[in-house]
Amino acid sequence: MGLVQKVEKQVKETIKKYKICNKKDKILVALSGGKDSTLTAYLLKKFGYNISGLHINLGLGKYSEECEKTIKGFSEEYKIKLYVYNIKKEMGSRMCYIRSGVQSREKVNNCLVCGVIKKSILNKEARRLKFDKIATGHNLDDEAQTFLLNIFKASPKLSANSGPITRNAPNKKFVPRIKPLFYVLENDIRGYVKKKNLKIYPHACPCGINSYRIQIRNFLEKVSGKDKERIMKNFDKLYERILKTKDSRMSYCEICGEPSRNKICKKCKLLKIK
Ligand code: AMP
Ligand code: ZN
């Protein structure tokens, strides 16, 4: 089987096995401009799903401008409706300012702050625009890193928040997130995108400094694709058991009213909103 058929088969099987979406769902694809989310949108569209895209412009200078330009070009070419959320316009500051405010109080890495804020925006926008699901471009390498990271932190329970679809109890303010590329190797994504000549912005985020994850990523670079797939087979075997340890109910943040598993949501905690 060729690469294109292999990747398409893996994505179709993930969608079917985990029932992550159906043709009636309105799906909002979180489009960064990078290869993973671009391929997610390309394949969901190719398979006949009802998708639109949302790009968050983080205000990181040239990098953000190029990401937005690239994703606009891709969306036009494939006739995907694209929403753009500009952090500077909507929240009043660029991501670097928001982040340095947090880091002046707490020792947290760049990606954590950005990730929490992006997730919060995605959920709010998807809900406002009445989407049923949010799709992200997380791939097998990302998930293997997260799984190992949680094991190294002696917190495998944290992997309860992983999986091809979020498994929280239904909550009217929470839009479920899906990961169609959950079982696709990063290398195969690279190969597919190249073969189909999809428009992507191939540079990493200039702020992507997360030393622990980088150590794990470097370690996994020495590991074969087959071994990474085996790591995720372990995840599959443990996932249902890990899920049983998690309280899947969500309530609402006492400050902002957004869905949260704790009294105060991660975003309000980080931003110290009172
Ligand atoms: P990251 O957290 O950067 O590894 O990205 C994980 C996923 O989040 C990507 O595959 C995208 O689906 C989504 N994402 C990341 N950055 C953005 C962005 N600026 N705008 C929209 N979605 C994004
Ligand atoms: Zn909150």
Q: Which atom of ligand 1 is nearest to the CA of 205?
A: 3
29 C-alpha to ligand 1 centroid (Å): 10
CA 198 vs CA 73, 167, 207: distances in Å: 10, 31, 25
264 C-alpha to ligand 2 centroid (Å): 5
Read off the pTM. Answer: 0.96
Of the listed ranges 48-52, 75-79, 245-249, the one predicted with least confidence:
245-249
Q: What is the mean pLDDT of residues 252-263?
A: 94
Residue 73 to residue 190: CA distance in whole angstroms: 19
Q: Provide CB contacts within 8 A for 134, sequence distance 6+.
A: 27, 28, 29, 30, 122, 123, 126, 175, 176, 177, 178
**Is the CB of residue 38 below 6 angstroms from any atom belonging to ligand 1?**
no
**Is the CB of residue 31 below 6 angstroms from any atom belonging to ligand 1?**
yes
- Geometric angle at alpha carbon 26, from 21 and 27, rounded to 5°: 65
Q: Which atom of ligand 1 is nearest to the CA of 64?
A: 19
**Is the CB of residue 137 below 6 angstroms from any atom belonging to ligand 1?**
yes
Name which residue sits closest to atom 14 of ligand 1, judged by CA: 32
Q: What does DSSP say about strands 26-30 and 50-57: parallel, antiparallel, or unpaired?
A: parallel
Which tens digit of pLDDT belongs to each residue from 79-133? 999 999 999 999 999 999 999 999 999 999 989 999 999 999 999 999 999 999 9
Q: Which atom of ligand 1 is nearest to the CA of 56?
A: 20
Q: What is the mean pLDDT of residues 221-229?
A: 96
Q: Does 248 score more than 90 pLDDT?
A: no
271 C-alpha to ligand 2 centroid (Å): 9
Burial annotation 95-108 (CB, 10 A radius, 16+ → b, else e)? bbebbeebeeeeee
Which tens digit of pLDDT belongs to each residue from 123-162? 999 999 999 999 999 999 999 999 999 999 888 888 988 9
Give the total number of structural domains in the chain. Answer: 1
Name which residue sits closest to atom 1 of ligand 1, judged by CA: 115
254 C-alpha to ligand 2 centroid (Å): 7
| Residue 8: count of CB within 10 angstroms of its CB | 17
Are 43 and 14 in contact by the 8 Å Cβ rule? The answer is: no
91 C-alpha to ligand 2 centroid (Å): 15
CA 16 vs CA 10, 11, 56, 125, 236: distances in Å: 10, 9, 29, 26, 16
Q: What is the pLDDT of residue 274?
A: 61
Which domain CATH number covers 217? 3.40.50.620
Q: Which domain holds residue 131?
A: 3-271
137 C-alpha to ligand 1 centroid (Å): 7
Which tens digit of pLDDT belongs to each residue from 157-179? 889 889 999 998 889 999 999 99
